Structure 1
Amino acid sequence: MARVLIIEDDKNIAGLEKDYLEINDFKTKIIGEGIAGLKEALSGNYDLVIVDLMLPGIDGFDICKKIRDKLEIPIIIVSARTEDIDKVRGLGLGADDYMTKPFSPSELIARVKNQLARYERLLGKSKESSLIEINGITINKDSRKVWVNGVEKSFTTTEFDLLLFFSSNPDIVHSKAILFDRIWGEDDFGDIATVAVHVQKVRKKIEKDPANPKIIETIWGFGYRFNKY
């Protein structure tokens, strides 16, 4: 399911955009201020950004430029400014499309879908392939971020690599030796006991009850299994 960020200070317009996007199976979030909107856009959590030009904080032109400096996701400007110079400037700063207010909600949805499809074609793969969603856990392989039941959790590099390996290979029992080789590498001179330590750290971040884990299960005498349910 594609995720869309709406940066718009007009609550009525933002609400209309959100309603129509969610009816069409998009996940959405609204930010009503420029600086906070830019920060959220740069989080790497979204597949597309819809931005107004006239915003408190910083304007939509600056937001487009700063997003495009960091990310290649589609950007659609939706603005009451109808002058050609604004359209040219917005598109020149990295926006992929420009719609003027008032607009048809159905046209907005069509343009969102078109930009996402175009972006996927340019990538040569589906953007969804960068995400793993399993057991209430969402893993973004590109940004290396993790959310558990919608709440972002902080993972070290090794913890992330371990969780990514488990979630990419569910319902398979992995020995400590295999995990050590895959995560730490055969050239690492560490102790294989570190596997159990890091498994416990990951459990504390993803399990409801780490003392009685249901997701990363210990298979005594064999290793660990990441259960998919």
Structure 2
Amino acid sequence: MKNILIVDDHLQITEVLKEYVIKEGFHPIIAFDGQVALDVFFNNSIELVLLDVMLPKRDGFDVCKKIRSVSNVPIIMITAKGEDFHRIMGLDIGADDYIVKPFSPNEVMARVRAILRRIEKTEENHQTMVQLTYDNLVVYLDEKKVTIAQQEILLTKRELEILWLLLANREKVFSRDNLLDSLWGIDYFGDSRTVDTHIKRLRAKLDEVDHPKWEIATVWGQGYKFEGKNEK
């Protein structure tokens, strides 16, 4: 049975999420502060984390950073209504998705199912494809590693998935909705700004090493694509 780590300091919220997690056939593990959340994570096999931002001892951002430094486990962050900067910061440090309070437990579980299905589908689709190369860029799917001119670029799991998808379909334009459907799942409830945030962070990391023969290009009014300069 897959373990879902629920991290929130409000007992009522954790009890509701616990009930729905059990109904979905998962095993809930509860943590009421950031330090306990990390202790639980490092001592259990966790398939997905539901992580509140405002926590005692260590906040959700700190917990997310620590987990992301060692693991690509999916993280859904929970933010207070109207705190848009929390959503952006969470995505920047490696969260896969976000949910705004107050939320519907059914929506939460729909997102959990979508992320876990996407992971299973990605693993099935890419089980025979382990490496993609273009000029000085190499993406190693199995090792979850990216190098440019033999220099490793540290990407989050979602950033690597975006790069892999664009590179595997070179010169194809992906709209924001295409990317959301392909990587977040067709029942994702968020908005397209999530895609823009991830693309911005991905570009910034790739630009740490010179790559004059390719780029992640914006096709105005349409979306994004991996563009080879010699293929224009």
TM-score where L is the length of structure 1: 0.52
Alignment coverage as a number of residue pairs: 125
Matching residue of 1:85: 85
The one-letter code matched in structure 2 to 1:58 is R
Unpaired runs of 5+ in structure 1?
126-229
3-state SS in 2 of match to 1:55: coil
Question: What is the SS of the residue equivalent to 1:70?
Answer: coil
Q: Which runs of 5+ in 2 are unaligned?
A: 126-232
Residue 58 of structure 1 aligns to a residue in which SS?
A: coil
Deviations 1:97-144 (A, max 9, x none): 10011111111110001111122233348xxxxxxxxxxxxxxxxxxx
Q: Which residue identity is paired with 2:55? A: L
Distance of 2:102 and 2:115 partners within structure 1 = 20
Maintained 8 Å contact 2:81/2:102: no
Give SS of 1:51's match: strand
Matched, 1:115 2:115: yes
Equivalent position amino acid for 2:110 in 1: A
Q: 1:34·1:55 contact (CA, 8 Å) conserved in 2?
A: yes
1:1-229 aligned at under 5 Å gives the runs 1-124=1-124
1:81 deviation in Å? 4.7
Question: 1 CA distance for matches of 2:32 and 2:46?
Answer: 16
**Structure 1 residue 44, shift from structure 2 partner:** 4.6
2:86 partner SS: helix
Secondary structure of the 1:67 match is helix
What RMSD in Å do the two structures reach over aligned CA positions? 1.5
The alignment partner of 1:38 has SS state of helix
CA distance in 2, matches of 1:116, 1:66: 21
Shift of residue 39 of structure 1? 1.9
Counterpart Cα distance in 1 of 2:36 and 2:86: 23
Instruction: Answer yes or no: is the 8 Å Cα contact 1:33–1:56 preserved in 2.
Output: yes
For 2:107, what is the secondary structure of its paired residue?
Answer: helix
Between the aligned partners of 2:24 and 2:98, the Cα distance in structure 1 is 20
TM-score (structure 2 length as normaliser): 0.51
| C-alpha distance 62-123 of structure 1, shift in aligned 2 (>3 A) | farther
- The answer to which of 75-84 and 109-118 deviates more is 75-84
Larger radius of gyration: 1
SS at match of 1:112: helix
Distance 1:38 1:123 in 2: 27
Offset, 1:24: 1.4
**Larger CA deviation: 114-123 vs 1-10:** 114-123
Q: Secondary structure at the match of 1:28?
A: strand
Mapped contact 2:64–2:93 kept (Cα < 8 A): yes
